[in-house]
Amino acid sequence: MHFFEYRGNELYAEDVPVRLLAEKYGTPLYIYSSSSLAMHFKAYDEAYGAFPHIICYALKANTNGAVLRLLAKQGCGADIVSGGELFRALKAGISAGKIVYAGVGKTEEEIRFALKSKILMFNVESEDELQEIDRIAGSMKLKAPIALRINPDIDPMTHPYISTGMKEHKFGIPIDRAVEYYRKASRLRNIDVVGVQKHIGSQITKITPFVDAVNRTLVLLDELKRRDFNIKYLDIGGGLGITYLTEKPPTPADIAKKLLPLINGRGVTLIMEPGRSVVGNAGILVTKTLYLKKSGGKDFVIVDAGMNDLMRPSLYDAYHHIVPVLKTRRARIKVDIVGPICESGDFLAKGRSLNKVGRGEFLAVMSAGAYGMSMSSTYNSRPKAAEVLVSGKTHALTGRRGSYEDLVRHEVMPGFLK
Ligand SMILES: *Cc1c(COP(=O)(O)O)cnc(C)c1O
């Protein structure tokens, strides 16, 4: 469920007509719904009820400061993968004690920043990284709380690019060697072993991979307890899918129903790292049609949003519903909806059946709240899209549209060319 629905022929974002927003703020425009964000967070929070849990929203799905602030106010934590994300999370008011830090390539500077900030734990992905965190923590006279990220070798049955928990992937530590790694970690003086973590992939729409992966992780957890490791946190990652087309992913409550009986009585706090399922259906991308053209027996609708604004179709061949902001009864035609970028891979949809559109009309790309703006670039020197947050009848700019000056602001002209 989300809060982008037609009233009559007109698409609304909560209680605001999308057309009004597109006219006021211009296009391409990302629109996020407050109620939708809050509802998605609550779905997780309530699913686990009184069971000790922390929901660490995966920032990489959408890093807009207002989105983060809204979630922070609900008590949400953060799953970060870089120093930049740590900076954003803290700036938005997410408490450091609810921040977990993943990623295979943490730099010394990033590790120092995280230690200084007193985050909840590092999710460590290799022995080298463990040694490095130990060394840096020692130099700061601190103890670094860590979990090891376990690769449980489970196929999440999703797109290969967003699948992370099989043995051929670069992520985590092979589960069959985990005990050995934990022993090594426990011998390091500046390391405090506090957790076990796994994350097997994204856009997972079946319950079985989650349950299988948790079961494998629990075998390890029990083994570690037997060996007197004081494991306080079981971090099961994120990855729950959303509906883009006809997917019927389980709800957080469906998953909780399966997981709670498994983890009950094990004396751990459960950590989850949802990204897409919190923000995905809470955002849309509005674009304007620029031109219509026929070529090679095909109809093209050329719009003002490109792969630099929303990369998912180009990168993963991902499907997004695309609907008119004002519904019409015009004849349906089959079109490719493409952006202005000079790449054949620049498309939002291919062979899509749509009521005929005219120039200067608005289309909404649905389910664009996750991995949309956060993956965007200024390729082709296209300034970044604007972002707006809607709450009931209220709306506010939460991301200023990029300017031409923004494109060159960071550049430095060398003296010998001045
Ligand atoms: C990307 C990522 C997530 C979030 O994944 P979603 O599919 O967006 O829920 C969580 N944890 C880690 C370690 C990740 O890399």
What spacing in Å lies between the alpha carbon of 277 and ligand 1's midpoint? 10
Q: Which of 202, 203, 204, 235 to mutate to test the pocket of ligand 1 (most atoms within 8 A of CB)?
A: 202
- In this predicted model, what pLDDT tens digit does every residue of 115-166 receive, in sequence order? 999 999 999 999 999 999 999 999 999 999 999 999 988 877 777 777 777 7
Q: Is the bond preceding residue 28 a cis peptide, omega within 30 degrees?
A: yes
For the chain, report the end-to-end CA distance as a whole number of angstroms.
56
* Enclosing H/E stretch for 130: helix 127-139
**Residue tagged active-site, from 342, 412, 413, 417:** 342
Task: Please give the structure tokens belonging to residue 43.
Answer: 């779905």
Half-sphere exposure of 286 (CA within 13 A, CB side): 28
Band the pLDDT of 418: cuts 50, 70, 90. confident
How many whole angstroms separate alpha carbon 357 and alpha carbon 364?
A: 12
Find out whether the beta carbon of 61 lies less than 6 Å from any atom of ligand 1: yes
Find out whether the beta carbon of 236 lies less than 6 Å from any atom of ligand 1: no
Alpha-carbon torsion angle 138, 140, 142, 143, nearest 10: -40
- Given a cut of 80, whether residue 204 has pLDDT beyond it is yes
Q: State the pLDDT at residue 72.
A: 98
Find out whether the beta carbon of 217 lies less than 6 Å from any atom of ligand 1: no
Q: Calculate the average pLDDT of the chain.
A: 96
- In this predicted model, what pLDDT tens digit does every residue of 48-57 receive, in sequence order? 999 999 999 9
Task: Please give the structure tokens belonging to residue 376.
Answer: 């965007």
Told to judge if 56 belongs to the known catalytic residues of this protein, a careful annotator would answer: no
Q: State the pLDDT at residue 98.
A: 98
Ligand 1: nearest atom to the Cα of 201: 7
* Enclosing H/E stretch for 197: strand 191-197
Ligand 1: nearest atom to the Cα of 274: 9
Ligand 1: nearest atom to the Cα of 280: 8
- Given a cut of 70, whether residue 373 has pLDDT beyond it is yes
How many whole angstroms separate alpha carbon 50 and alpha carbon 57?
A: 19
Find out whether the beta carbon of 249 lies less than 6 Å from any atom of ligand 1: no
Q: Which of 37, 125, 163, 199 to mutate to test the pocket of ligand 1 (most atoms within 8 A of CB)?
A: 199
Task: Please give the structure tokens belonging to residue 79.
Answer: 């799953």
DSSP 326: B
Q: State the pLDDT at residue 170.
A: 78
Find out whether the beta carbon of 239 lies less than 6 Å from any atom of ligand 1: yes
Ligand 1: nearest atom to the Cα of 102: 13
Phi, psi dihedrals of residue 83, rounded to the nearest 5° = -65, -35
What spacing in Å lies between the alpha carbon of 402 and ligand 1's midpoint? 27
The two most distant CA atoms of the chain are separated, in Å, by 71
C-beta atoms surrounding 329 within 10 Å? 7
**Selection from 14, 66, 40 nearest residue 400 by Cα:** 66
Alpha-carbon torsion angle 2, 320, 280, 358, nearest 10: -60
The per-residue DSSP string of 258-316 comes to: HHHHHHTTS--EEEE--SHHHHGGGEEEEEEEEEEEEETTEEEEEES--TTT--HHHHH
Stretch 5-13: mean pLDDT: 97
* Enclosing H/E stretch for 67: helix 65-73
Q: State the pLDDT at residue 1.
A: 46
Structural domains present in the chain: 4-31+280-408 (2.40.37.10), 103-272 (3.20.20.10)
What spacing in Å lies between the alpha carbon of 161 and ligand 1's midpoint? 13
- In this predicted model, what pLDDT tens digit does every residue of 225-273 receive, in sequence order? 999 999 999 999 999 999 999 999 999 999 999 999 999 999 999 999 9
